[in-house]
Amino acid sequence: MELEGKVALVTGGAGGIGTGICEVLAERGCTVLVGYHRSAQDAAALAARLGNSQARHAALAVPVTDTAALAQAASRIAAEQGRLDILVNCHGTTRFVPAADLDALDDELIDRVLATHVRGTFATVRALRSLLVAGGEGLVVNISSIGADLAIGSNIMYCAAKAAVNTMTKSLALALAPAIRVVALSPGLVETEAAKQFEQSFKDAHIARTPLKRLATPRDLGQSVVALATLMTAVTGEIIAVDAGRRMA
């Protein structure tokens, strides 16, 4: 319960990775705000089952590409929680497009991926900055991807967007120090419900190229957030791979 009394917001909290992060934070005593865009019902259900009677878990609308709505979310957090200690930017969107098929990577998808991952991440930090600063030990964790380094992912623009998130993480770490630390966690393929839709041969090939011979799990990401919040308190501006070693291979 080392995070008891702390408040965390996880954008995209009802998604596969976000759910694991929310669960681990709640288990460690944190009050968790499950941020959502369209999945209000899933977010509310997750908040209800997180347990921990001492915490006031709740679902919260956080449409990251809507600056006015982000301001409303910040006001609600201030009124209902009175603080925000941890922000996990776990929102995202993508669609699989073969890298060589440039025509299939249409303008609508490009704009949506960049707006969600890049502008949305920045806008969320901007909207919640004052709350994070108020506590004096704010932590922002951006969920990136090893696609930023490997240039292999769901599509070319997704990889480019995650590379931008990595650079933004470093820039924000410099701009917001010392009151707020900013770190990125960079997973590869994660064992989520969505990953179960992949052909087993694809997953087996991925695992075969991974030194630890397994996929990272959402809870691995959650444990990493906890470590950053409680133990790795001298870390900021870093991009930390949580990928079972896949990036090295």
Active site (catalytic) residues = 158
* Residues paired with residue 36 on neighbouring β-strands, in sequence order: 61
**To 10 degrees, what angle do helices 120-134 and 67-80 make?**
20
77 within 8 A of 34, measured Cβ to Cβ: no
Residue 239 DSSP one-character state:
E
129 within 8 A of 72, measured Cβ to Cβ: no
Q: Would you call 90 helix, strand, or coil by DSSP?
A: coil
Residues 17, 70, 44, CA angle at the centre, nearest 5°? 50
Residues 186, 190, 194, CA angle at the centre, nearest 5°? 130
Three-state SS across 56-77? Answer: CCEEEECCCCCHHHHHHHHHHH
CA distance 168 to 175: 10
* Residues paired with residue 33 on neighbouring β-strands, in sequence order: 9, 58
